[in-house]
Each structure stands twice: as structure tokens, then as C-alpha cells.
Chains A and B, each alone.
Chain A
Amino acid sequence: MSRRKFATHTGIAVPMLQPNIDTDAIMPSREMKRVTRTGLGDGLFAGWRYLDRGTVTERENPEFILNQTDYQGASIILAGANMGCGSSREFAVWALADYGIRAIIAPSFGAIFRTNCIRNGVLPIGLDEKLVSRLADQVKTDPQRNSISIDLVKKQLAGPDGEQYSFDLDPADQQMLLEGLDLIDVTMQSIADIESYETLHRSRRSWMQLS
């Protein structure tokens, strides 16, 4: 199965600079009501995004930034340090992707969340805290120019003022995203190596084996 590819993307960036945005906030557990990975965008940031959620008076919270006019259709999040910390729930990334988020720019990420992003075609860009702040300031200052352009091939992004920033990404992660690879398909090409390792492992460390 192939996955969603990522090569270049230009979209509205929404500043959410508080540090330690956890995956419970991104996708509250109470929004995970079915054994499914699709259609989860409605639950994204539910605790912040809605008032009176689940009642007859449910409505959008006008104070939450994604509900504000300037950020309608946002596809890039500018976040604080340790973005996506906490629970390993991949529902958080499925919800982001379903909502339309293609990239997240932050000084650092929760490790499991970061991998979940890569596996689902969402690009996690690590950028120095000061640069993330600068981008966020620009986005806030001029709502007419709140887009960021990302080029994954060159590992560069352009801020609203056109200034270019380079970012790092492991070659393996870059390739996964560029080619939309399914990692299981890729690894199955090494199944013979796995089988021969397994035989050796079982003889060398027999005590580990479950009969």
C-alpha cells in the first residue's frame, strides 16, 4: 500500500507556540470512538476547539486560533518545543492529517509523535526556537501573507516574507515522505535477512525464546 507523498507544499501557517502541546490535547481520548483511522479530523483539538462539545449547544470556540478567519484552511502548524509529547496515540496524527495539516514546524517533537507523522505523510520540521518565533510573528502581523512554502527535496522553507530557511531531516525520513513508501513493503524485501538473524538469535540466546 502506498502512502501520501510529500514533495512541496504551500499553505496557511497557524501559530500555536505554547510548549508541550500533548497528544491528549491534539486528540482527546474521548474523541476516539471507533476502531478506525479515518474521519478523525472532527475531534482534532476538540477540548480547545469547541464549547459545550457533545451537547445541543455545541459550537466553535471563537477564541481558539484554528477557528479564526485568518487561519481557515491552515495546513501548517507553528508549534512550541516538545510538540506532540505524551501518549503514543497515532489518532493524533490521523486527526491532523484528516483536518488537512501537512507539516508542523517546531523546535522539538515528542519522539513517538514525530515517527507517527513521518508514517502518515505529515512533515515534522525541526527549526530553532527563535526562527519558529520569527515565522509566527510574521504570520500574525499580516493575515494577508500568512503562508509558508516548503520544499522537501531541497529541505528548505520560505517564510511569509520570502526568506529561506534550511532544515534537517534524516535521509530515511525524507525518502519515506517523498516517495510515500509503505515501510512494511520495504522491510519485506529484507525478510531473508530477518529469518537468518532469527535463527542465529534463537541459537545464541535460547533463553529468550518463547515456546
Chain B
Amino acid sequence: MPDCTVVVITYNDARRLPRAVRSVLGQTLRDLEVIISDDASTDDTPRVAAELAASDPRVRYLRREHNSGGCGAPRNDGLDAAAAPYVMFLDSDDELPRHACKSLLAEIERTGAEFVSGQISRLYEWNGRLHPYYPSLFARRRVVGGIREEPALFLDSFSTNKLYDVRFLRETGVRFPEEIHYEDHVFAAGLYAHARRFAIVPWVVYHWHRERGGSSISLSIKDMENVRHRVIAARRSDDVLRRHGLAGLVPDRQYRFLRQDLRVYLNPLPRRDLVWAKEFAAVVRPYLEEIPAEVYERVDPMVKVCCRLIMDDRAEDLRLAAGCLTGPRAAPRAAVQLGGRTYWGTTVSPGLDITRLRLAELPFSAARLRHEVTELTRDGDRVRMTVHTYDPFGALPVGWEAFLRLGRRRVPIHPRPSGDGGYVTEVAFAPEGACEPRIGFTRLSDRLTTTDRLIVDPAMRPIELPGGTLAPEGHTACLRVRRPARRPALLGRVKRLLIRRIGTPATKLRAYKLLIKVVRPRPDLALFESDVGKGCTGSPRALYEELRRRGLPIEAVWSVARGKAPDGARRVRRGSWKYVWTLARAGWWVDSHGFPLDYPKPRGTRYLQTWHGQGIKSIGFDAPDLRTDFDGPRAQWRAAVARWDALVSPSAEFSRRFVPSNGYTGPVYRYGTPRCDALVRGELSDDPRRLLELPAGKKVLLYAPTYRDRAKGSGRSVRADLELMAEELAGDWVVILRTHPVERYRPPEHLLHFVRPAGTYPEINDLMLVSDALLTDYSSVMCDYAITGKPMLFLVDDWDEYRTTERGVYHDLPAIAPGPCVTTTEELIARLRDLDAGHAAHAGRYAAFRELWCADERGDASARIVTDFFVRSPA
């Protein structure tokens, strides 16, 4: 008896059947049987199947006499014929990854489950990419004691990504219905209704092949019959649950219908014609009307709006609303604001309430406008375009100017009032390379700009121009310019290839090492860098400004990854050949992190290391990246530190910790921190209130969490529940969210009325000066902030983990924190409401904290260090 039976169903698919069968025969589990269950194909399938059976004794061929029209009957045939104790199902156009059978078999034997379900993944055949289906459902490997424990699993209603205990299926009589499509939805409902114990595994066990413009049943979504079947399957699935005493779970299954089944048709709806939309609405309407109101409150408000429009038979509006579901989620043409609530369209109804999206409260620079291209024609090498702009939330002020943005280019435009509250623009332009055209409005009162994409007719034919091809993109049909499909000239290709070959980091380093042997550093050239080229800020910037102020005869070059250098300085791109040259030529190096670690310092160059913060976190050889099992990074850092000629130390505490933990032995400047001079003097470098649109009358909370060493770039350092904070505090507070430079996080649109993302805001000092309080966890920003004397709060929910395994610390933060330490957002909200009392209660600690870290800050650090380093010391 084989360990596992795999039933491969097929109908007129002789071309792909061998691929599917071979994916089973090539499994790491060898002891299995393949049953090809043929739904009476009329093509070459019998011959192909016979060949497969002849080639391997593990293959059996079953054939129905009459075509059943679906997948249910052949699957049932295969199930009845299965000889093994476990069974899997495979469609002839798909494949099993090679460990699928053995891994699921081992799991079902280990857990004693009734079935095991694994990750199903779409495989796009045109680029070979895998796209997993709802990976969060499968992320944890686990045993589930019945669907009641996790009703979210209704989203997994496939029959193919599972291995079943055959005896369980036979005893419970769970089978596939034979007269409808989406038989697996009903099958899955039966499965979930009966199963007491099933297992979930996180790895991919099924490759669901997708061809461009594929034609398998589940994809022919244009077919109205298909919609009908899906609704019937949904009803029958609900009935299965009710029959088995699980009526309480029906809303969860209906939620799945709204979130998944309906979206399959809603997403591409803007591309369908009106007749189709109307008929579609008629088909799904009766089922939607049965779904209780609370289920609609669980889904995306725009899905709810679409359902309302379906029920109200407003097909035209439905197509518009469906365009707000995907991609950039286009703004509506109109919205009504009444009694503090916002409604989609021009009528007020609870089903059209989109207040939760907070679109009407966005700050101007994030405001949503709708730009519909009503005409687009070719005119020689250019296009002429007419755009209708809608301002549904009344975001545009009285005075503005407008432009069309094409990549880096801006074309001024002159929108005229259209008479319906919107604007009409006529513009002609020639694209120059790939871009996503946007229309921008700049407010004259404060020069802030808001931009939004252009929406075109989804049926528009691409317009090919020498400078690029204009075409609609995505279901929403945003206008996009693609690169002209031209082959670059041979010379250009050779040049690019050479540059790529020669321009590797390794060759640059080799060239540099040669270079510093032959050229001498210039005593009148200084190279500045801060944040590894991420900005022109921090102590290097303060020192640079001081250098300029004094007019010292030293030319300054800034190393920047992206963006501009400060006025009066030349810019080199970090990592470029020019950068390599400047490193070799500069007689002065000033930075706050470390110039490329493998680059030895040229003889005669003087290197001032300013560092970029002080605080409780472990550092240098005590920090996790240098405590690994490899010796390489430690040796590299030792050599890098040996390059420093002087180090800025902000405090005695810094000298006590940082200096030995990096093995540094050279001179130390104890004059305070150049970066903090502006804080001591209270000098803003720009106008953050204007740039971040901080509303007058609201208090400003600066939220600056540090990164987590094991989750850089994950966004997981933002641990406060911003949703809850917005709900509770948005009336009085606005939050400036300053994430760490190595972190990546973008707040969702519906929080932008409350949160101002400022991760890339050029100068953090300005944010500190403009704020009323600081919220952080373990960031060094707390030491700088103490200079301001303003209240601080600490969200330390992962303190023990951070202290022991994540990073390691030198101080017991909860014991020395100059403000309340909290572990939940609820507690945080309570403390913010009672900010002054908490601040007053921590006055003693605040003073001690300042004494420890900020005693040397007098506002003249830049001046004294420039004197000592650039003027007194010989270059």
C-alpha cells in the first residue's frame, strides 16, 4: 500500500497534464500513487495519460464516460479509488513543489490531525515569481482544535493545498458537490464543520500556476455564470455550517465572501462595461441583502460602499467606487461631510459612511484629489490631454498654482473652473523616459504642495511616442509612461557593461589603496559626512556651519547618498568614483558614523569622529553586531577606530563607556556636542510648523523610537498603538513620528490626520524644539532632549528583551528615566492626559539625568572644536 495518493484531475489539458504528473513522480516521497482522473476529455489526454501510466507503475488512469462539467466529480472518483491512507488533490495545470507530499505526510503522522493545510502560492508563469496567498494565515505551524478557534481560516477554502486522512473523509462523508463550480468552497465548509483537529504548516505545498490571460474555470471571471456559481457555493457553504450547528460561524464565512470572493470581481470592475456591472450587481444582490450589518462594519469601508451601491442598483457609481479599492485607491468624485461624518458620493446613508478612512481630515500635502483624464490624443511626438480635477474634500485653498509632474520635470498648467466645483486643464507634453505623471497644486500661502495620480479610461489604447509609451496601469487605470521599447546603441551597452564590471566596490577599494600611495591629501580640503550619507545633519553639519562662519580657507565637500549638499559646499555621491577620489585627497575627514570601514586613512589626513548619540544602549564591542560568532567584523572595526585622530565626547559618562568599549585611545574633546548647540540656543534651522502642517492649538508629541537590532527596516520599532492614540488623542494632540534612519515605516493613510511621518525630515533638532513632549523607548535622542527641559515619556514594553538579548544596555532605564515609563498604549494615553503632573513628579530624576549626560552642553561646542581641530592642530 502506498503512503499517499495524489488525484490529478484533468479535462482537455493534454498539454499540461504531464508537467503536473511529473511534479508528483518527482516528489521526495517515492512511495505514492498518482490517479489521473479524466473528466471525459476529447483531446489527446487518453494517449498522454496512457504513456504516463506506461512510464511509471505508480500512475493509474481513470476516465469518466460523460463530462461532468466541473472538478467535483473527477475528484470524488479519485477519492473513491485511492489506495493509500492519505490523499491530496492536484489540478492538471498546477504543480506540487517537491517536498509537498513528504512534508505533509510527516506532519499528519506527527500530529494525528484529520487534515493538514499548507501555504498555497500563485506562480506567475511569465516571470516565475511566487505570490503566496494570505501568508499570515499559515505563518505559524500549529494544530487547530476546530474552526471555532480560528474562523479567519475560512479564507483558506482550497481543496488542493491539503493532505487528508482518507478514513476521515470516508467516515464523515465529506465529498465534493458535482453540479457547481467552486465545489471546493462547499467541500471546505464540510471539512471545517466536521474536523475536530487539523494542522497548519507555513511552507509552500502547492504551486497554483497563472498564465497571462489564463482560461481555467476559476479565472474566467468575465463569465457571469461564474459569479452565479460562486454565490450558490457561498449559500450552500453557509447551509452546511447551519446544518452542523455552526450557525454562529456563518457571519465569519460571509466576511470571507466580502473580503475575498467579492473582491475578485470588484477589483477589475472599473475595466468592465456598464451592462456587465449591472448584471453582476443583480446576481450578487440577493445574497448581500442577507448579510447582517455588523459584517459590513468589519470590512474595508470602500467594500462596504460597493456593496451598498450593488444593493441600490447604482451600477455607474459602483464602477467608480471599485476604482477606489486597489493600487493608489483613487479619491471619489464627490463626498458629503455632515455632522462630523464623511459619506462617499453625493448622498448621506450609513452604507456610504467612509469616515473611518479619514480622507476629509488629511493635511494639505497628503490631501486627495481626483484627476480624471477625459481626452488623450497624440499630436506628433506629443500628447494633448484634458484633465477634469475633482476636489471632493474641499482641500484646495483660494490661492494656488498647479503643475504636471513628469519624473523630475514640471510642466506648469492652468486649470480653469469647470462649473461643478472642479477644474479642467488642457495640457500638451512630450514624455521623456519612464515616469508616473502626477498633477500637483502648490498653496501660495505657505508653498506646500499636494500631488495625486491621473486616472485614464481603462480601455485606453497605449500611445507610443519616442519619449515613452503612455498606458493605463492596474485596475484603477492610473496613467503611466513606460520607457520607449528601444534597444540602446551598441556603444552605450558596452560602456554600461564596462562600468558595471569595473565599478564594483572591490575594484574601487583596490584603486583607492593605490591612489593613496601616489597622491597627497590637500590641507585645504575637508570631506563631511553624517548618517552614512543619509543627510547633512548632526555634528558634522554644525561644524561645517561654524567653518563657513569663520571663513576658514578650507574647501568643504559633502558626501550624500541622495539629495543636495548645504549651500557653499560641493556634493559627491557616497560610494561613487568621485567619492573615492575625494577620500584620497581630503586632508580632513569629519563624520558621525564611520567612513567606509575598509578604507585606510591616507597618510597625513586628520579624522574627526563626532559620533551621533549617547545613551543607555550598549555600543562598540559590546553591541550585538560585534558580538557574533565571526571575528571578521571585530577586526574590521578595530582597524576603523584606529583611523580616528580625535573624538567628540559629550559627557563624562560617554567617555567612561564609549571610549573603552570601542578600544579608542586617542584625544577626546570634552566641550559638549556640536549638534546640540542649536538646542541650547533654541535656534530653528527652518520652519517645521509650516513644513509638517502642525495645526495651531494642538500639542505636539515627538515620537522617536530607536530601531531593533534584529528587525531593521521592518517597521516593528513603532510599538505604540497609533490607531488607539488617534482615537483617544486626535482632538488635542498631533504626533511627529521620527523613526530611526535604518527603520522603514509608513503610517497608513487613515492615520495621517494625526501622525506626521518625519523619518526623513532633515533636522531632528527642529522637531525637538517644536514639540511639547517626547515619547521614546531607548533612543539616544532622550539625552539631547533633556537639554530642552520638556517632558519625556518612555514606552518600554520590551525592556527585558531589549536589555538582555536584543541589544544590551549600560543603565537601568526604568530606574533613571526622567519621566514616566509605561508598557501599554492605554497607560501612555493616561500619562499624556496628565503630562504636567508626571513631569513634576520626575523633576529630581530629570535634574540628575541632565547632570549625567548634558552637564557640558553650553552651546559653544562647535566653536571650540573647530578652533582645536582645524585651527590649532597642524594638517
Does B bind A?
A: no
Q: List residues of chain A with CB under 8 Å of any chain B CB.
A: none
